[in-house]
Amino acid sequence: MAESVITQEMRDVIGVESEPVTQEIEKGAIIRFAQAIGDSNPLFTDEAAARKSRYGGLIAPPTFLRSVLANPPSTDLKIPYSVGLDGGSEWEYFEPVRPGDRITHTVQLVELFEREGRMGSMLFVVREGRYVNQFGTLVATERTTGIHYDPPQEA
């Protein structure tokens, strides 16, 4: 493997939490999201039916949080590669998200590592996001992996 691209400045960002971003969850956004993904579960689309459930009203589908914050918080990390790919994400859900909730999202870098692959040297950037409601209750966490590299030079 070539010399590491992970600098001390990059390591210093590990564990630093981003500035929070807060957004109020709208009932219409929940319904439109469920319709857009083709999920007809009445908990997400039918307020009258959802009121009869154990939740007492509409809740958001689990994947809704991925779409709600158009400008997610960022951490100040200078990536030395030109190409970035989504390496996947893992979600954990603790509480339902409801219309009227004010969800605050923060992110922090938790891990940096390198590997050699078909494309050459790759940098893996692992971040953890937290979603907390207006009562201070953690409703979900996400762990995302970004893969960064420079495309091979054509001969």
- Tell me whether residue 41 is in a domain: no
Distances in whole angstroms, Cα of residue 105 to Cα of each of 39, 108, 115:
25, 10, 30
Say which CATH number the domain at 135 has: 3.10.129.10
Q: What is the rounded radius of gyration, in angstroms, for the C-alpha atoms of the chain?
A: 19
The span from the CA of 61 to the CA of 68, in Å, is 11
How high is the pLDDT of residue 67? 82
The 10s digit of each residue's pLDDT in 53-78 is 999 999 999 889 988 765 666 667 88
Indicate yes or no: pTM above 0.75. yes
Q: Which domain holds residue 118?
A: 8-24+69-149
pLDDT, tens digit only, all 155 positions of the chain: 568 999 999 999 999 988 899 999 999 999 999 999 999 999 999 999 999 999 999 999 988 998 876 566 666 788 999 999 999 999 999 999 999 999 999 999 999 999 998 878 999 999 999 999 999 999 999 999 999 999 887 76
Please tell me the total count of domains within the chain: 1
Residue 138 carries which DSSP code? E
- Tell me whether residue 1 is in a domain: no
Cβ-Cβ contacts under 8 Å for 36 (sequence gap 6 or more): none
- Tell me whether residue 59 is in a domain: no
Q: Record the tokens describing residue 26, joined without a space.
A: 């709208």
